[in-house]
Amino acid sequence: MNIRLLLMLAGGGAFFWAFRRWRAAVQLAMVVLVLEGVFRKWIFLGAQDLIYFAKDVLLIAAYGGFLSERQRLRGLWIPRAPALYFTLAAGAVWGLFQVLNPELPNIFVGMLGFKSYFLYVPLLFVLPAVFPSDAAVARFLMRYLLLSIPVGLLAVAQFFSSSTSSLNTYARSPTEDLSSAVTFGSSSFVRVTGTFSFITGYSAYLTSVVMLSLAVLATTRWRLGGNFKIYLVLGMAVMGMLMTGSRGPVVIVGVTFPLYWWLAVVREKQRGATFVRLLIGLVLVGAFVFFVGGDALGAFQGRAAGNQLELLGRIAEPFTAPFRVLPIAGLLGYGIGATHQAATAVTPGIPPFSWLHGHLIEVEPGRVMLEVGPIGFLLVYLGRLLMIALALQQAFRLKTLFHRSIAVASFMIFLSALPGGVIFDVTTGLLYWFFGGLLFLAMRLDRQMALSPPAVPPASIPRART
């Protein structure tokens, strides 16, 4: 039987399972996000597109299962954030309008674009219903972090393999050149992808792993005892960042870490002792990266030592591109999905991106302006600013250390994603809204604990509560 047909039948079965077991399906979708590249690059080479949509099938079914239980979940508390809800709803309405933009080559491009903008937004409301307690979410987050260790070991193997090794390949069309992988340029080492299809996906994943690791360490006030696995996860994630050769994640961690230090260390109790342990922990992580990942550090330094003006230009481009594109986009833009990298797959027989009339742009803010015009751009980025503000507010407001740490991690993710690829990089997009759901979950659990505090803190979550 044709492999594509088998996968479609399996997808149908997975859809019905996910509808009935929607809580497990949401968690499985996050694991699939990490592992789908394995199937796309090495196993189902002729069905990469079907594997790409596997997590989306699980999430759509999970949304349906969540809605089917809306009567039983009616009492589930939803955070008060009317400005955010209005902005998201208005953005979705504008997105539906943009699906019919006459500049688009067909409606399928618009549907693809709408999916990219809004498919993962419901996680804000679904994820808080997935985990009933602190213990449940802590178990999942710990396992999710530990999953990064085998992913990191694969990346190490890729780094020390040749660019023509079967380990170093990407999820690409059979017609594309698969003969070699991207190297650092200054050396023969390969820029790794781990289990992900491309470098950008692995880089986004590593950023989220670092943020979650910092959140977990904050809940234990950076104690060394009992945290060996988390320190290992953090060290391997930092080393993985170097092996990708992507400067963006390193810059993001460097820029946001002082905010983490202020919110998760300076403002908390026992900040003096925590600061000392933090310094010791950072020294240990740095020593691990230096002695174990010395080659990765050297290769990254060689790449980072390139044209500094070019690097500054890349940092500034997301902030300047929208203004440069505005006169071209006009009031309505070229339609949602017009610049999507997969648009050519639903426009057979049409020259790629001919509908843009040569107005191609790389960075996401410029692409958003080009697609949905100034109104859509304002709604998209106002929503992101409101997410940042909400996370920062909760970092001050939540009563327990565990919940505040989640809020701090979410704040750093939202802040780093402001100029980033939330829409056009599926890994970043799913992780972004997953952290949004985690923030809402922390707010719900914190309120629940304030209303009925447990007599004894559960043993499976960090004991530090204040």
* Tens digits of residue pLDDT in 175-229: 455 556 788 766 778 999 999 988 999 999 999 999 999 999 999 999 988 899 9
Which pTM value belongs to this model? 0.93
Size of the chain in residues: 466
Cβ proximity of 413 and 375 under 8 Å:
no
* Sequence-separated (6 or more) residues with CB below 8 Å from residue 285: 231, 234, 235, 238
Residue type, 409: A
Handedness of CA 449, 450, 451, 454 (dihedral sign): positive
Which pairs from 349-354 meet CB under 8 Å and 24+ separation? 350/105, 354/105
Q: What tens digit of pLDDT does each residue of 329-353 get?
A: 999 999 999 999 989 889 998 998 9
Domain borders along the chain are 1-73, 76-158+194-451
Listed as own residue / partner, the contacts of 35-38 with beta carbons closer than 8 Å and 24 or more positions apart are: 35/195, 36/195, 36/197, 37/171, 37/193, 37/194, 37/195, 37/196, 37/197, 37/201, 38/195
Summarised one tens digit per residue, pLDDT across range 405-448 is: 999 999 999 999 998 889 999 999 999 999 999 999 999 999 98
**Cβ atoms 465, 401 nearer than 8 A:** yes
Q: What is the per-residue pLDDT for 285? A: 93
> Is-contact 189 299, C-beta < 8 A?
yes
The answer to whether 399 touches 450, Cβ cutoff 8 Å, is yes
Residue type for position 119: L
What pLDDT, in 10s, does the model give residues 380-400? 999 999 999 999 999 999 999
